[in-house]
């Protein structure tokens, strides 16, 4: 799972990235070239995994991770630069727009006012223009092929024209009702406005305390406070958060929202010496979940032995008791994995 922090220059992306990934990348320059990108990873803390670990005491506990990249900032009216920056997010599952909400005269900004909602729409527009370019070039190519007498996929062209119409009308593809069979025709193209997106408003302390923008669904944080958190020890963090009125650090908020927009759930495996969490899309079948671990397990799949997290806790991790009580179930390939399932895959090599 990979996400990208993106947004206009000097909105606080790198500040937030530092806070999330406990890095100390310099943020003083105010200009980042488009090819510069920072990479990091966040553990997906899960109190259920911790609790299971307390019961079975494995030698090793492996949390799921979310990879995160921090891109250079977009620039107003600079499509060449923006194209390069946006292309850096091609290989990601979701986008996080960082919106400038802090008012700080010493940090330059391209817009005359601080207006996160305007910036959200401007960002949508930048990504939309790249998609429009993509769709236009693809249509041109198909037309050329047709002219040369080559065989073309008429269905793909039809879908592309349908998408182009919406993009030209200023509609992001997320808002277009695209049918599964239409998606199939364009699956080789990577449209940016089809990626799930959510936004973080980076507020100054004053606006943060005033609870500004509370009516929006955006995540509200204060970048400077978050970067202070990164410098604290584990013991100090709790009381700092409480004193500052922050319910949880920005990294956790972003992970939670990422799972939500991607519709991801977690399941757990216990294969001594390791207890491990895995992330999959809701609706994934046991056979595909097995493949997530190893292609051999998928290929040789015999059955899945499944106990829900709550049931596991109710028998204090005693699998024999779970079997007797019938809460350790045997499931087949088509079983739809549920959030919190603890699964043992049986397979032949
Ligand atoms: N006052 C204030 N300054 C911030 C905040 N977040 C970031 N900055 C400053 O804004 C400048 C640009 O931040 P940076 O994270 O590099 O922005 P980026 O261009 O979006 O990556 C830096 O000087 C930061 O210290 C904030 O919440 N409040
Ligand atoms: Mg930056």
27 in Cβ contact with 83 (< 8 Å): no
220 in Cβ contact with 213 (< 8 Å): yes
Residues with CB under 6 A from ligand 1: 7, 9-15, 27-28, 32, 73, 102, 104, 107, 202, 204, 222-224
How confident is the model at residue 204, as a pLDDT? Answer: 93
How confident is the model at residue 211, as a pLDDT? Answer: 87
Q: Which residues of the chain have pLDDT under 70?
A: none
Q: 149: which DSSP letter?
A: T
Q: What share of the chain is helix, strand, coil (3-state, %, to 5)?
A: 45, 20, 35
What one-character-per-residue DSSP string does 86-133 give? HHTTTT-SEEEEEEEE---TTS--SSSS--HHHHHHHHHHHHHHHHHH
Backbone angles phi, psi at 215, to 5 degrees: -85, -5
Work out which ligand 1 atom sits closest to the CA atom of 9: 19
298 in Cβ contact with 290 (< 8 Å): yes
Cα(56) to ligand 2 centroid in Å equals 42
Fold assignment, 1-113+195-282: Rossmann fold (3.40.50)
CATH 3.10.620.30 matches 283-347:
no
Measured over the CA atoms of residue 327, residue 331, residue 336 and residue 339, the dihedral's sign is positive
Work out which ligand 1 atom sits closest to the CA atom of 227: 6
Domain residue extents for the chain: 1-113+195-282, 283-347
Q: What is the mean pLDDT of the chain?
A: 95
How confident is the model at residue 340, as a pLDDT? Answer: 98
Does the pTM surpass 0.75? The reply is: yes
How confident is the model at residue 234, as a pLDDT? Answer: 82
């Amino acid at each position: 799972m990979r996400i990208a922090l993106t947004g206009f220059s000097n909105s606080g992306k790198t500040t937030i990235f530092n806070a999330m990934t406990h890095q100390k990348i310099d943020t003083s320059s105010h200009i980042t070239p488009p090819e510069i990108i920072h990479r990091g990873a966040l553990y997906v803390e899960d109190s259920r995994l911790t609790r299971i670990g307390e019961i079975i005491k494995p030698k090793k506990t492996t949390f799921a991770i979310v990879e995160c990249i921090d891109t250079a900032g977009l620039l107003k009216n600079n499509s060449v630069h923006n194209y390069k920056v946006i292309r850096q997010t091609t290989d990601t599952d979701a986008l996080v727009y960082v919106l400038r909400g802090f008012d700080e005269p010493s940090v330059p900004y391209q817009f005359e006012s601080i207006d996160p909602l305007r910036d959200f729409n401007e960002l949508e527009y930048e990504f939309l223009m790249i998609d429009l370019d993509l769709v236009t070039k693809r249509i041109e190519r198909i037309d050329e092929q047709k002219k040369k007498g080559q065989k073309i996929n008429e269905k793909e062209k039809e879908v592309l024209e349908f998408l182009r119409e919406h993009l030209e009308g200023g509609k992001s593809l997320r808002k277009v009702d695209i049918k599964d069979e239409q998606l199939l025709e364009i699956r080789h193209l990577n449209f940016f406005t089809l990626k799930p997106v959510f936004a973080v408003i980076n507020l100054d302390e004053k606006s943060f305390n005033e609870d500004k923008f509370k009516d929006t669904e955006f995540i509200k944080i204060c970048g400077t406070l978050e970067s202070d958190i990164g410098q604290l020890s584990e013991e100090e963090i709790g009381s700092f958060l409480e004193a500052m009125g922050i319910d949880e650090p920005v990294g956790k908020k972003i992970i939670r929202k990422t799972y939500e927009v991607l519709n991801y759930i977690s399941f757990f495996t216990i294969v001594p010496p390791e207890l491990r969490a895995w992330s999959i899309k809701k609706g994934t079948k046991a056979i595909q979940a097995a493949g997530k671990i190893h292609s051999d397990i998928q290929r040789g799949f015999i059955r899945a032995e499944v106990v829900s997290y709550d049931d596991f806790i109710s028998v204090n991790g005693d699998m024999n008791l779970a079997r007797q009580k019938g809460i350790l179930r045997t499931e087949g390939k088509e079983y739809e994995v549920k959030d919190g399932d603890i699964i043992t895959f049986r397979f032949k090599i």
